[in-house]
């Protein structure tokens, strides 16, 4: 009887230890996840619904009208007298001519309207969406400082300001080719609605990889601030600390997503030279062509890193350059 009680106590103790072990494992696994949280930065803005310079409008006639009347818009005072009808429409032949011209104008207007609806007002030029991604070795941390500075000072509420963001971001990448490790580029040309959907899909896919957007300037809405830079091997008070056990193979990933008027061609990236061409081509897009832009980078917070495993898991499309 006594042995049975002891065995019962031992079993209860073992059950308690097992339960405690499970709770302990869950708590520390969540803590590890929290420690692995990835910060991100974001700069961008724009709209696919605001036609600019390339928006086709009605052809202006020499008389100053746009075809709303007959006094110089479509030139009827010149056409009708040519057929000998003066300014009137008394003859049957004149009526046929008028109907034919009116039918032609209606069809032309309908065709132009349908084209504008499909391309967002940009006619045959169409709309393109492009994405360029660069994976850099973590030694190039000065790039993070450059992007922080751009985010805090950029005017993302104007076309000119967004074009400047694109130029400065691509220049920051081009200044650090020695740290390039991975790259990818792709583009598509389609109708307005499809282009906007593709742009949002690419941007959201990258943003979803962030645990938190620690610095953002989107359409002139600034949130978060960049922390003071702490160099590797230093503490906040400048004291040098040992670097034993520092994990090798840490990376920074920068993603550029743009929507542009017209055709945008980007090379397939399999080398550093092709990556340079893709970045340069994207940076050459001017304010009159640029519809929308997203510059996304991770990590943004100081001390945050991306490991080789993270790269393989979250960026399988990037090619080694």
Q: Give me the DSSP letters along 109-170.
A: HHHHHHHHHHHTT-GGG-EEEEEEEEEEETT-THHHHHHHHHHHH--TTSHHHHHHHHHHHH
Of 234, 206, 259, 213, nearest to 50 by C-alpha is 259
pLDDT tens, 192-210?
889 999 999 999 999 999 9
Report the distance separating Cα 257 and Cα 16, nearest Å: 53
User: Could you tell me which residue, 29 or 38, shows the higher pLDDT?
Assistant: 38
Q: Which residue has the tokens 């086709």?
A: 56
Of 184, 150, 148, nearest to 311 by C-alpha is 184
Task: Tell me the two tokens of residue 236.
Answer: 């906040």
Residue-averaged pLDDT of the chain: 75
Task: Tell me the two tokens of residue 102.
Answer: 């009116």
Distances (CA, A) of 88 to 26, 298, 301: 91, 73, 77
Residue 109 has what pLDDT?
55
Residue 94 has what pLDDT?
67
Report the distance separating Cα 75 and Cα 172, nearest Å: 56
Which runs of E-coded beta strand occur in the chain? Answer: 39-46, 127-137, 180-190, 212-218, 221-223, 251-261, 290-298, 319-320
Q: Is the whole-model pTM more than 0.95?
A: no
- Among 53-67, 102-116, 158-172, top mean pLDDT goes to 158-172
**Strand duo 127-137 + 180-190: pairing:** antiparallel
CA–centroid distance for 53 within its chain: 21
Report the distance separating Cα 183 and Cα 277, nearest Å: 11
Report the distance separating Cα 87 and Cα 93, nearest Å: 14
CA–centroid distance for 282 within its chain: 12
Task: Tell me the two tokens of residue 171.
Answer: 């220049």
User: Quick one: average pLDDT of 78-87?
Assistant: 47
Report the distance separating Cα 2 and Cα 10, nearest Å: 12
Report the distance separating Cα 38 and Cα 212, nearest Å: 7
Q: Which helix (H) or strand (E) holds 6?
A: helix 2-35
pLDDT tens, 160-175?
999 999 999 999 999 9
Report the distance separating Cα 220 and Cα 45, nearest Å: 8
* Helix 159-174 with 272-283: angle, nearest 10 deg: 160
pLDDT tens, 174-184?
999 999 999 99
Q: Band of the pLDDT at 226, cuts 50, 70, 90? A: low
């Amino acid at each position: 009887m006594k042995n049975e009680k002891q065995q019962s106590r031992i079993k209860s103790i073992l059950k308690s230890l097992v339960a405690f072990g499970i709770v302990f494992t869950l708590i520390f696994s969540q803590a590890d996840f929290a420690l692995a949280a990835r910060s991100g930065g974001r700069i961008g803005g724009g709209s696919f619904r605001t036609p600019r310079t390339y928006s086709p409008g009605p052809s202006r006639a020499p008389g100053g009208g746009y075809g709303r009347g007959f006094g110089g818009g479509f030139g009827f005072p010149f056409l009708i007298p040519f057929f000998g009808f003066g300014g009137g429409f008394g003859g049957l032949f004149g009526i046929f001519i008028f109907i034919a011209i009116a039918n032609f104008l209606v069809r032309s207007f309908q065709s132009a309207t349908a084209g504008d609806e499909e391309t967002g007002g940009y006619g045959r030029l169409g709309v393109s969406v492009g994405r360029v991604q660069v994976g850099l070795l973590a030694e190039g941390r000065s790039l993070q400082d450059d992007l922080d500075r751009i985010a805090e000072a950029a005017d993302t509420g104007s076309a000119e300001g967004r074009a400047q963001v694109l130029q400065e971001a691509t220049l920051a990448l081009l200044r650090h080719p020695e740290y390039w490790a991975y790259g990818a580029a792709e583009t598509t040309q389609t109708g307005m609605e499809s282009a906007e959907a593709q742009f949002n899909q690419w941007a959201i896919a990258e943003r979803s990889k962030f645990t938190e957007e620690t610095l953002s300037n989107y359409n002139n809405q600034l949130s978060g601030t960049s922390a003071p830079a702490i160099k590797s091997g230093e503490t906040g008070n400048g004291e040098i600390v040992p670097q034993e056990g520092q994990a090798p193979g840490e990376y920074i990933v920068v993603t550029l997503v743009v929507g542009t008027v017209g055709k945008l061609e980007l090379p397939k990236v399999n080398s550093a030279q092709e990556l340079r061409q893709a970045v340069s081509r994207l940076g050459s897009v001017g304010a009159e062509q640029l519809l929308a832009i997203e510059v996304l980078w991770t990590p943004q917070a100081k001390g945050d890193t991306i490991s080789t495993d993270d790269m393989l898991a979250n960026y399988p499309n990037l090619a080694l350059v």
